[in-house]
Amino acid sequence: MNATIIEFPPTVTIPPHLVGEVQSKLAYVDERIAAAHIGAAGDNIIIELKEPLSTAEQATIEEKVQRVVVSMAQGAIRPKVQVLEDYLDRRVPFNGDPMPELARRGEISQEAQGIYVLGPLLTRLVDWFEQRFLDLAASFSAQPYRFPTLIPARYLEKVGYFRAFPHSLSFATHLREDLDHIDSFAEGAACDQHGNLNAPFERFAPIQTLLSPAVCYHLYFTLADQTLPPQGVTATAVGNCFRYESLNLSSLERLWNFTMREVIFVGSKEFVLENREIARQRMQRVFEEIGFAYRVESANDPFFIGEFRKQAAFQSAFQLKYEIRARLPFKDSTLAVGSYNYHQDFFGRHLSIHLPDGSPAHTGCVAFGLERIVFAFLAQFGFDLAQWPRSMQEILQ
| Residues of this chain that bind ligand 5GP (CB under 6 A) | 214, 243, 245, 252, 254-255, 258, 260, 301, 323, 336-339, 367, 369, 371-372
Give me the least distance between CB of 73 and Zn ion, in Å please: 28
One DSSP character per residue, 48-109 reads EEEEEE-HHHHHHHHHHHHHHHHHHHTT--PPPPPEEEE-TT---S--S-HHHHHHHTT-EE
Give me the least distance between CB of 324 and ligand 5GP, in Å please: 7
Considering only 142, 235, 365, 370, the residue that binds Zn ion (CB under 5 A) is 365
CA distance 276 to 278: 6
**CB under 8 Å to 21, separation ≥6 — which residues?**
72, 302, 308
Considering only 159, 216, 326, 328, the residue that binds Zn ion (CB under 5 A) is 216
Partner in contact with 85, chosen from ligand 5GP, Zn ion, none, beta carbon below 5 to 8 Å by kind:
none
CA distances from 5 to 1, 60, 225 (A): 11, 14, 54
Q: Which stretch, 62-70, 240-248, 262-270, 279-287, contacts Zn ion (CB under 5 A)? A: 262-270
Nearest residue (CB) to ligand 5GP, 203 versus 243 = 243
Decide: helix, strand or coil at residue 337: strand
Partner in contact with 260, chosen from Zn ion, ligand 5GP, none, beta carbon below 5 to 8 Å by kind:
ligand 5GP
Partner in contact with 216, chosen from Zn ion, ligand 5GP, none, beta carbon below 5 to 8 Å by kind:
Zn ion
Give me the least distance between CB of 235 and ligand 5GP, in Å please: 16
- Residue 46, strand partner residues: 7, 37
Partner in contact with 371, chosen from Zn ion, ligand 5GP, none, beta carbon below 5 to 8 Å by kind:
ligand 5GP
CB count, 10 Å around CB of 50?
12
Cα atoms in the Cβ-side hemisphere of radius 13 Å centred on 360: 14
Give me the least distance between CB of 216 and Zn ion, in Å please: 3
Partner in contact with 294, chosen from Zn ion, ligand 5GP, none, beta carbon below 5 to 8 Å by kind:
none
Give me the least distance between CB of 213 and ligand 5GP, in Å please: 8
Dihedral sign computed on CA atoms, order 295, 296, 300, 301:
positive
Q: Which stretch, 97-105, 111-119, 132-140, 260-268, contacts Zn ion (CB under 5 A)? A: 260-268
Nearest residue (CB) to Zn ion, 18 versus 365 = 365
Q: What helix, strand, coil percent values describe the chain, rounded to 5?
A: 40, 25, 30
Give me the least distance between CB of 239 and Zn ion, in Å please: 10
- Which backbone phi and psi does 327 adopt, to 5 degrees? -75, 135
| Residues 280 and 295: beta-carbon distance below 8 Å | no
Give me the least distance between CB of 274 and Zn ion, in Å please: 17
| Residues 47 and 33: beta-carbon distance below 8 Å | yes
Residues that bind Zn ion (CB under 5 A): 216, 262, 365, 367
